[in-house]
Amino acid sequence: MMANETALLTELENNGCKGKLVAIRHLDDLRAELAKQNQAGFLKSEFLNDPSYLAGCQYDYSEIMPNAESLIIVAVPQPITKLRFTWQGKQQTVVIPPTYIYSAADNLATEIAERELTKGNFSCKRIKIPYKILAVRSGLAQYGRNNITYIHGMGSYYRLVAFATDMPVISDNWQEIEMMPECSSCRACLNSCPTKCIDPDRSVIHGEKCLTYFNESAKPFPDSVGSNWHNSLLGCMKCQLACPQNKTGNPIVEIENPFTEQELAMLFTANDYSELPETTLVTLQKLNLTDYDLPLPAIQRNFKSILV
Ligand code: B12
Ligand code: SF4
Ligand code: SF4
């Protein structure tokens, strides 16, 4: 391993993160892997054609970084966030799963990568690719039966971030796709999934049935979605909470009274973000809740689906 590569990976670990590097040519392998899954009929147009999902991924960075040599994949640990507040006399707890409040995680990975690479006169650029495939192929992670990736000792509560860099990689590693050995005798995620979108007979979940797909969309929830399935403001925690690999010391961040009752009244009734007071908007922005191209009525719908 080159000194610069070691220094980068060590610095990531010193900050609680983990990373791996592979040669840039594996962008073609990522593209091919996705094409294979598409051919098998596992990828629905809902994901393939949406820029916030797979249509946002790129496999040619020759223009933004013509001298790119390697890809870096980084896992940044993330807590479960709980918003606690009183609404209409009742104490409410609103869960935001790992990865949704992402600015600090993305900035941490970027700062470390830029700082360490600059020391060797290298640079890096954030890129959008299918992160899980890279994480697993590089040896950083393994798939769980629930299709989410896991890192030994970290569980699945982390956000994946990737970079292209002009730093060459010496220890190029591109391994077979692996499922966690622990999954072979476990079906906890499968049994806990309210939508039954984890399919024991195929390796890719039915993403178009996942609760996350519905609450990340502005479209009304279909009748097939049970009103008692909702558990998070965005996404869903069921398959990760049930997983024995997530039982050890995962942090929870509790935010007490992020909004006053007066702010909540406006948040739940306003027609548009522009009608909200500045303080409410700033809180929503800090939680990254305005970053998902969701109109305010969709955020209101999500809140109301989990308030007691
Ligand atoms: C589209 C997408 C979704 C779609 C899912 C579409 C689908 N069918 O998977 C929806 C909106 C439903 C979704 C939901 C969630 N997502 Co999402 N999502 C993405 C996104 C944008 C692309 C993922 C994707 O479709 N990749 C392409 C598919 C083909 O790859 P794959 O899922 O890795 O599938 C591979 C395996 O199945 C594998 N395979 C092949 N052979 C074999 C053999 C074995 C034995 C096994 C096990 C596997 C296997 O085949 C495929 C690759 O060839 C990424 C961000 C990104 N740019 O990567 C985030 C991302 C994957 N999501 C993430 C998260 C956290 C979630 C949620 C947990 C959110 C939540 N609820 O809180 C849920 C989890 C749902 C689940 N159980 O997977 C994280 C995952 C972090 C982690 N620890 O792995 C990512 C990486 C975002 C990030 N930056 O961190 N997501
Ligand atoms: S996130 Fe929820 S709906 Fe999606 S696979 Fe996991 S348990 Fe099922
Ligand atoms: S719940 Fe069990 S089967 Fe599912 S990912 Fe975790 S260990 Fe694997």
Q: Which ligand is nearest to the CA of 182?
A: 3
Q: What is the pLDDT of residue 63?
A: 85
- Domain coverage including residue 116: 2-306
Ligand nearest to the CA of 50: 1
pLDDT at 99: 98
Say how far apart CA 268 and CA 253 lie, in whole Å: 24
Is residue 146 within 6 Å of ligand 2 at its C-beta? yes
Name the residue with the closest Cα to ligand 1, atom 56.
Answer: 130
The number of the ligand 2 atom at minimal distance from the alpha carbon of 205 is 5
**What stretches of the chain show up as alpha helix (H) in DSSP?**
3-14, 26-39, 45-48, 103-119, 131-137, 188-192, 211-215, 238-241, 261-269, 278-286, 296-306
Residues at CB less than 6 angstroms from ligand 1? 33-34, 37, 43, 47, 53-54, 57, 97, 99, 128, 130-133, 143, 146-149, 156, 158-160, 177, 179, 203-205, 207, 210, 212-213, 216, 235-236, 239
* 147 CA to centre of ligand 1 in angstroms: 6
Total domain count, the chain:
1
User: Looking at ligand 1, which residue's alpha carbon is closest to its atom 42?
Assistant: 203
Give the predicted TM-score (pTM) of the model.
0.97
Pocket lining: 33 vs ligand 3, CB cutoff 6 Å: no
The DSSP H or E segment spanning 142 is strand 142-143
**How does pLDDT run across 43-73, given as a tens digit for each residue?**
899 999 999 999 999 999 888 899 999 999 9
Which of the four pLDDT bands, split at 50, 70 and 90, describes residue 139? Answer: very high
190 CA closest ligand 3 atom index: 4
Res 248: pLDDT: 80
Residue pLDDT, tens place only, 248-287: 877 899 999 999 999 999 999 999 999 999 999 999 999 9
